Each structure stands twice: as structure tokens, then as C-alpha cells.
């Protein structure tokens, strides 16, 4: 059972509308920090202890830079938002310097084969992962009203970094999407007659601003769970979206079944979307906007993928064939 201290942090984060995934990650790193300091209470620790912990993660644990940054963010939250004793802005610790990996990308044939073999119940969200280049949670958090059939696009709200954007939607997916909405409507008609049903979850203060919205069809998830469940931290009965593990497991198992020699994940489809757009001659700024990257340097990693292969530098080995002949 969690300590009262950790439970209090959890409730504090829920009150501030942090995502459950973020709460779980922060609690993990705060717990790790406490164990690193021989279970000394965080009130008795501060800058120097945090610096030692972060250096330990880089030196002994060899964690990736993003992992170390997540641990730092968790501790910044702990001391600033919960303990009201902010850390200094000039923390001195050894930073992780692992070289970022090039993304795994499927070619067009592999992408078509993978998507063709995804089981029917999860085919549509997987097609959107690739067809619109979305992150996993961006697909799962889609609401019915986020689909713009007139302009063949999707509206993404509060993506990574809290940003909003509009992305392309393949016209071939419009009919399957209408069919999906019909399926959601059946769940909705069943739920709305349940006196215990509290409607769909709305982020931030939207439920207070629009009190009738939780029970409106348009706000309901496009890919709902098959079961009703109690909202974490409350007794509200809701129908949440599909759990991310459903798509993760399905894509991994399908790739394994097809004997792909690449490590294929949900994010591989996003990487492939970006790379294939560039191959077709799309401007890198367009790809950046579609992916929702703040910094174009993040998008430029896909140009490295292209330059590393047949679309970039010609290998001198290719010239040997002419000499041998």
C-alpha cells in the first residue's frame, strides 16, 4: 500500500488535472528518490540530494536523457508544487549524453502488409496512427467531434506540450470512421439510460464550463472501452477510451507474426508517416506541423533516415560492379 505522503501527492496532482500516466511516472521517480536517500523524508532533502540522485541516474543507471529529464521534472514538481520549497534553477549534476537512435521506419510494402494484417477491431486506430502520423495517446483520446469530414482532417487537442493542431485525414478512412461512430452510438444509447452513468471524462474545467457536455455524443471517445469503469480518484462511472496496451500488443504481435526483422511499435507508424511524406517531396515545415514538433531539428531526424540509404549518399561499393564487369 502506498504511503500517505505518496497518496497525498497523487491527489494533489489529480486536483491539478495531471494525466494519470504522468502521475504514475512522477510517483515512480519520487519513490526512487526517497529510496536513493535511504528513505529519508524529502522535506529533509533538497538541492544537493537531488543533484546526487540525478548524477546517479546518469553515471550508474545509464538512463537516457529523456528519462533523466522526467525524473528531474518529477522532483521539481515535488518541491515547487507540493512542498512549496522550490529547487534552485542552477542544479549541478552529470547529464545523460546517450546518442539518440535513428527511428525505425517501415517501407511502403511493409507498412501495407502490417496494416492489412491488423485484426479488424483495432484496424481503424492503427490506420490512423500511420495515416495521420499521430502519437498513440492522440489516437486513443480522439473524440467524435474531433473529426472534420468536410475538410478531411482531425483536430488534436492538448497534444504533447499542451499544443493543439490540425492534421490530415486520408479520404479512404472517412467511411470506416462513420461506421465507427455508429458503433459508438450504440454504446452511448446504452450508457445514457444507465442512471449510474456520469458521462464521459472531460479534462480541466470543461465539465464545469459545459455541464451537459459529458453526456453529449460528440464529446465521447471515438475508440471507447468495451466496459464501464470508475474514474480514478472518484466514484464517477464512465466509459473510458481503449487502453493503450491493446494497440501496443496488437502491433507487436502482428509484426512478429509477419517475421519482420525490425522492432515495430505504435510509434514506428508515426516515424514511417513522416519519412514517407518526405519521400513524396513534402516540405519539412509541413511535416513539422503535421507531427506537432516545436523544434524543426526534431523533424530533421527523418531527413537523416533518408540520407542514410538509397535516397542519399551513393555507396562506392556500387561502383565496383562496373569495374568487375
Selecting among 141, 238, 239, 270, the annotated active-site residue is 270
26 is catalytic: no
Per residue, the 3-state secondary structure of the chain, as one string, reads CCCHHHHHHHHHHHHCCCCHHHHHHHHHHHHHHHHHCCCCCHHHCCHHHHHHHHHHHHHCCCCCHHHHHHHHHHHHHHHHHHCCCCCCCCCCCCCCCCCCCCCCCCCHHHHHHHHHHCCHHHHHHHHHHHHCCCCHHHHHCCEHHHEECCCCEEEECCCHHHCCEEEECCHHHHHHHHHHHHHHHHHHHHHHCCCCECCCCCCCCHHHHCCCHHHCHHHCECCECCCCEECCCCCCEECCECCHHHHHHHHHHHHHHCCCCCCCCHHHHHHHHHHHHHHCCCCHHHHHHHHCCCCHHHHCHHHHHHHCCCCCCCCCHHHHHHHHC
276 is catalytic: no
Selecting among 14, 18, 46, 135, the annotated active-site residue is 135
267 is catalytic: yes
Selecting among 239, 240, 241, 293, the annotated active-site residue is 293
80 is catalytic: no
166 is catalytic: no
Selecting among 2, 95, 160, 256, the annotated active-site residue is 160
Which residues are known catalytic residues? 135, 160, 267, 270, 293, 302
Amino acid at each position: 500500500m502506498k504511503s500517505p505522503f505518496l497518496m497525498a501527492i497523487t491527489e494533489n496532482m489529480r486536483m491539478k488535472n495531471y494525466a494519470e500516466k504522468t502521475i504514475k511516472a512522477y510517483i515512480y521517480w519520487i519513490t526512487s528518490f526517497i529510496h536513493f536517500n535511504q528513505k529519508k523524508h524529502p522535506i529533509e532533502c533538497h538541492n544537493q540530494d537531488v543533484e546526487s540522485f540525478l548524477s546517479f541516474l546518469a553515471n550508474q543507471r545509464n538512463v537516457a536523457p529523456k528519462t533523466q529529464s522526467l525524473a528531474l521534472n518529477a522532483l521539481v514538481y515535488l518541491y515547487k508544487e507540493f512542498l512549496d520549497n522550490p529547487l534552485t534553477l542552477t542544479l549541478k549534476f552529470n547529464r545523460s549524453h546517450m546518442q539518440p537512435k535513428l527511428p525505425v521506419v517501415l517501407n511502403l510494402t511493409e507498412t501495407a502488409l502490417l496494416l492489412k494484417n491488423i485484426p479488424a477491431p483495432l484496424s481503424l486506430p492503427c490506420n490512423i496512427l500511420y495515416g495521420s502520423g499521430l502519437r498513440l495517446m492522440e489516437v486513443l483520446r480522439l473524440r467524435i467531434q474531433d473529426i472534420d469530414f468536410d475538410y478531411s482532417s482531425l483536430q488534436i487537442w492538448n497534444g504533447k506540450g499542451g499544443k493543439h493542431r490540425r492534421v490530415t485525414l486520408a479520404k479512404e478512412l472517412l467511411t470506416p470512421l462513420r461506421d465507427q461512430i455508429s458503433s459508438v452510438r450504440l454504446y452511448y444509447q446504452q450508457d445514457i439510460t444507465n442512471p449510474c452513468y456520469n458521462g464521459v471524462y472531460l479534462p480541466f474545467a470543461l465539465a464545469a464550463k459545459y455541464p451537459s457536455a459529458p453526456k453529449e455524443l460528440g464529446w465521447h471517445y471515438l475508440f471507447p472501452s468495451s466496459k464501464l469503469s470508475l474514474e480514478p480518484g472518484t466514484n464517477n462511472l464512465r466509459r473510458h477510451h481503449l487502453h493503450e496496451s491493446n494497440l501496443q500488443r496488437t502491433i507487436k504481435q502482428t509484426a512478429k507474426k509477419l517475421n519482420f526483422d525490425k522492432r515495430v511499435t505504435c510509434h514506428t507508424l508515426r516515424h514511417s508517416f513522416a519519412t514517407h511524406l518526405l519521400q513524396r517531396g513534402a516540405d519539412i515545415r509541413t511535416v513539422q506541423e503535421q507531427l506537432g514538433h516545436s523544434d524543426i531539428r526534431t523533424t530533421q531526424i527523418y531527413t537523416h533516415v533518408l540520407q542514410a540509404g538509397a535516397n542519399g549518399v551513393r555507396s562506392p561499393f556500387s561502383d565496383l560492379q562496373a569495374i568487375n564487369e
